[in-house]
Amino acid sequence: MFEILKKQELNPTVTRMDIYAPAVAKKAEPGQFIILRTHADGERIPLTIADFDRETGRVTVIFQVVGATTERLNHMNVGDCLQDFVGPLGRATHTDGLRKVAVVGGGVGCAIAYPVAKKLHSLGCEVHAIVGFRSKELVILEKEFEENSTRTVKMSDDGSWGTQGLVTDALRTLIESGEQYDEVITIGPLVMMKFVCALATKYGVKCVASMNPIMIDGTGMCGGCRLSVGGKTVFACVDGPEFDGALIDFDEAIERSSMYRDFERHRYEESCNLFAKEVE
Amino acid sequence: MANMNPKKNPMPVQDSAVRSRNFDEVALGYTAEQAMDEAKRCLNCKNRPCVAGCPVKIYIPDFIARVAEGDFAGAYRIIAEASSLPAVCGRVCPQENQCEGKCVRGIKGEPVAIGRLERFVADWHNANASGSVERPAANGHKVAVIGSGPAGLACAGDLAKKGYAVTVFEALHLAGGVLVYGIPEFRLPKAIVQKEIEGLKALGVEVVTNTVVGKTVSIDELMQEQGFEAVFIGTGAGLPKFMGIPGENLKGVYSANEFLTRINLMKAYRADSTTPVQHAKRVAVVGGGNVAMDAARCAKRLGAEVYIVYRRGMEELPARREEIEHAMEEGIVFKTLCNPTEILGYRNEGDRRDPKNGFVTGMKCVEMELGEPDASGRRRPVVKEGSEFVLEVDSVIMALGTSPNPLIKSTTKGLATEKWGGIVANEQGLTSREGIWAGGDAVTGAATVILAMGAGKNAAAAIDTYLQGK
């Protein structure tokens, strides 16, 4: 079974969990993801692998409580076991030959940006980490980014942490100051990635975005995670999750991500009520 | 004395008005009396054309003779010698093209209801058999089976009966493959599938779920590091096809695989399900095969008005006749000689944040007429000039067939595949790699449960010969 080895609250809505999954840990690479179910009859949800240790069989996931399943996951504790945990799925981040990269993370997407930065840093690549949060309370992995990048640029919407502004402001400043990147890798909310990709493309820098659409099986079977990239339909689970940011149809992806918004909101409220009752 | 009634004993079914509102099994099964009476229609003829028509060569007249005598346990033993999944095959085999298609009684009247009798015997066994199965003596050889669908289960069952230590690897959280994610509850109750799998486990088969071979572990690792001496690939054809028309990525457009997986595997039809599925008002299912019928009948049960949209005529529908009839009885509307050209979506130009944006509102179609026969021998549909119209729907399900998943191919060096993705294998299922066999949809492209089972059995026999000769 997939035991929870460690649980750590990174901020009020974001949790880090270490799961015992030796088969996944053995094969995991940055950029890949897993699918888990908390309990029998549970929903299958994809989460990107935030870290792993092949020796101890540990796989780390970082998740934000956004719906019924992540709410339930957040109520599980060290020693509890997940029903299912399968992976590693998707393709690993392409890191070969990169010498200077800007890794641009936003919000909980920083959890996915971090292992990418770490791998590049360990390969001797010059990493500029540009990380943005709405405010200081929501900051995660600050120390990890500092330790695994040549330069860490901190941004917040309200100015309570680092510099006030958007990650795109920081990226523009760096590029305009003469920094020449082999690639920009961005992970975060779709709207943020859309503008990061547009900016990088405008300056002629290759940009890669990590997509996290709705999916079920994660093996190419359902097609629910499909995206348009360069006018072609691709499946994020097997063809991605990373794609050439200049070619992704972000508007379509944003629209598709809201397919079950009403259902999810309803289920989330139900599960919150349920947990509130248990606490009483 | 043979029963010379030219017609089969009818299958008791749930009333169509009732069943189109629930997910319970449609066909209720024969009673013992109905089964014995039907069994007496078999003439026990000498040349047994029915057996030749069966992909797994069940001794059909023998088991039917036992049913006629009321010896249901004896009938089950005969079926079980050849078939690993009788309760499944009795329900989903296209008997009309196989055993029953060859039945002598079918020349002047209806054939013996072999499928219904098989189902009766298997259900009787499941309800009455006293559990303990004797586990065969281990022969010390390890075989890996990839995929727990019909091909993999049949292969695993036959090898386990011979004493092999068989491990079945499944990518999803539940074993059964298309039997659990694809075929709906009302046609094949999932409890029956699980019972068959429990039977295999009792024989010693180990089932490992949550393992994507090609990702979690490779075939070469299984053979070199984990000591498996032979591997059978039964990974099916799970990759959905789309038409490539505008609007296919709108919200409310599903592949049949996604729609059926949400409903069957994830139980999205239940009120308490954690997995969502759209409860559309009007649904178009594009395609005319069994999967299209399954998707249409599921959509109907979720409360929609449902259209089957198919570019050829009623006669050309590739689905089983029985499935088409059931679908029609349940009120599904067949729009044949009709082909989609575009899916239309809602777009509020004044408000980009309107939550309705991007949801399906209709499907643009053209009418077709049948021209000259094409390479498949079926008359080629051609567009009727000026016939464009819009079918108002809020969901579209694409049931256009599936192709094999490239994951195994791309992670197994030296495994030859066809251009369209199918794994190259000979009649016994041997691939281009020593020690690796393949069968079922992964080799043939999308076909039937029973053909996949037959391929699994053939490969099991070949693997046995190979390992005994080693």
- Inter-chain contact B273–A68, Cβ cutoff 8 Å? no
**Sheet of A33-37, strands arranged across:** A81-82, A2-11, A14-20, A58-64, A45-53, A33-37, A84-89
Is A215 part of a structural domain of the chain? no
Per-residue model confidence (pLDDT) at position B379? 82
Residue A74 and residue A138 share a domain: no
Q: How far is A128 from chain B (nearest CA, A)?
A: 31
Bridge partners, B217 (sequence order): B213
Interface check A99 vs B, CB under 8 A: no
> At which residue do the structure tokens 């949550």 appear?
B210
Per-position DSSP letters for B418-445, written without gaps between them: -TTSPBP--TT-B-SSTTEEE-THHHHS
Is residue B183 within 8 A of residue B92, CB to CB? The reply is yes
Contacts of A264 in chain B (CB under 8 A): 276
Distance CA B264, CA B300 (A): 14
Q: Give the highest mean pLDDT range of A166-170, B94-98, B197-201.
A: A166-170
Residue A105 and residue A168 share a domain: yes
Is residue B346 within 8 A of residue B366, CB to CB? The reply is no
3-state secondary structure of B246: coil
pLDDT tens column, B299-314: 999 999 999 999 999 9
Q: How many domains does chain A have?
A: 2
Is A168 part of a structural domain of the chain? yes
3-state DSSP: chain A helix, strand, coil percent, rounded to 5? Answer: 30, 30, 35
User: Pick from A258, A278, A250, A279: which is nearest to A67 by CA?
Assistant: A258
Is residue B201 within 8 A of residue B207, CB to CB? The reply is yes
- Pick from A23, A238, A260: which is nearest to B276 by CB? A260
Distance CA B131, CA B202 (A): 9
Residue A112 and residue A83 share a domain: no
- Pick from B173, B240, B355: which is nearest to A223 by CB? B240
| Pairs from A169-175 (Cβ < 8 Å, separation ≥ 24) | A170/A130, A170/A132, A171/A102, A171/A104, A171/A130, A171/A196, A171/A199, A171/A200, A172/A199, A174/A102, A174/A128, A174/A130, A175/A199, A175/A200, A175/A203, A175/A205
Is A150 part of a structural domain of the chain? yes
Is A16 part of a structural domain of the chain? yes
Counting one residue from A and one from B, how many pairs have CB atoms under 8 Å apart?
A: 109
Number of neighbours of residue A8 by Cβ within 10 angstroms: 12
Report the CATH number that the domain containing residue A79 is assigned in CATH: 2.40.30.10
Residue A107 and residue A71 share a domain: no
pLDDT tens column, A13-70: 899 999 999 999 999 999 999 999 999 989 999 999 999 999 999 999 999 998 889 9
Distance CA A270, CA B13 (A): 38
Domains annotated on chain B, with CATH: 16-128 (1.10.1060.10), 142-238+403-468 (3.50.50.60), 242-400 (3.50.50.60)
- Inter-chain contact B267–A41, Cβ cutoff 8 Å? yes
Report the CATH number that the domain containing residue A137 is assigned in CATH: 3.40.50.80
3-state secondary structure of A171: helix
Q: How far is B296 from chain A (nearest CA, A)?
A: 17
Q: How far is A158 from chain B (nearest CA, A)?
A: 24
- Inter-chain contact B238–A220, Cβ cutoff 8 Å? yes
User: Pick from B231, B261, B241: which is nearest to B446 by CA?
Assistant: B241
- Model's pTM, two decimal places? 0.93
Residue A138 and residue A84 share a domain: no
Is residue A268 within 8 A of residue A276, CB to CB? The reply is no
Q: Both tokens of residue B131?
A: 């559990």
Collect all residues with Cβ–Cβ distance below 8 Å to A262 and sequence separation of at least 6: none
pLDDT surpassing 70 at residue B376 = yes
- Inter-chain contact A87–B216, Cβ cutoff 8 Å? yes
Is residue B277 within 8 A of residue B296, CB to CB? The reply is no
Alpha carbon distances (Å) from B137 to A63, A70, B163? 48, 46, 5
Per-position DSSP letters for B456-469, written without gaps between them: HHHHHHHHHHHHHT
Classify each residue of A201-217 as buried b or exposed e, where b means 16 or more C-beta atoms within 10 Å of its C-beta.
beeebbbbbbbbbbbbb
Q: Which bin fits B401, alpha (ψ -120 to 50), beta or left (φ > 0)? A: left
Per-residue model confidence (pLDDT) at position A71? 92
Interface check A163 vs B, CB under 8 A: no
* Chosen from A20, A39, A86 to mutate, greatest number of chain B CBs within 10 A: A86
Residue A168 and residue A112 share a domain: yes
Domain edge (last residue) among A71, A89, A107: A89
- Inter-chain contact A221–B239, Cβ cutoff 8 Å? yes
Per-residue model confidence (pLDDT) at position A264? 80
pLDDT band at B433 (very low <50, low <70, confident <90, very high): very high
Sign of the C-alpha dihedral computed for residues A174, A178, A184 and A190 taken in this order: positive
Residue A131 and residue A76 share a domain: no
- Within B55-157, strands assigned E span 142-146
Contacts of B261 in chain A (CB under 8 A): 216-217, 221-222
pLDDT surpassing 60 at residue B460 = yes
Provide φ and ψ at A75, rounded to 5°: -90, -5
Is A41 part of a structural domain of the chain? yes
3-state secondary structure of A277: helix
- Inter-chain contact B215–A87, Cβ cutoff 8 Å? yes
Distance CA A118, CA A149 (A): 7
Domain edge (last residue) among A142, A157, A179: A179
Contacts of A255 in chain B (CB under 8 A): 251, 357-358
Is residue A181 within 8 A of residue A205, CB to CB? The reply is yes
Residue A137 and residue A107 share a domain: yes
Q: pLDDT tens, position by position, for chain A (280 residues)?
A: 899 999 999 988 899 999 999 999 999 999 999 999 999 989 999 999 999 999 999 999 999 998 889 999 999 999 999 999 999 999 999 999 999 999 999 999 998 899 999 999 999 999 999 999 999 999 999 999 999 999 999 999 999 999 999 999 999 999 999 999 999 999 999 999 999 999 999 999 999 999 988 889 999 999 999 999 999 999 999 999 999 999 999 999 999 998 888 888 887 787 777 666 655 4
pLDDT tens column, B42-83: 999 989 999 999 988 999 999 999 999 999 999 999 998 888
Q: How far is B98 from chain A (nearest CA, A)?
A: 29
- Pick from B216, B266, B276: which is nearest to A24 by CB? B216
Is A103 part of a structural domain of the chain? yes
Q: What's the domain range around A42?
A: 2-89
3-state DSSP: chain B helix, strand, coil percent, rounded to 5? Answer: 35, 20, 45
pLDDT tens column, B324-372: 999 999 999 999 999 999 999 999 999 988 889 999 999 999 999 988 8
- Inter-chain contact A260–B407, Cβ cutoff 8 Å? no
ω into A88 cis (within 30 of 0): yes
Gyration radius (Cα) of chain B, Å? 23
Domain edge (last residue) among A179, A208, A233: A179
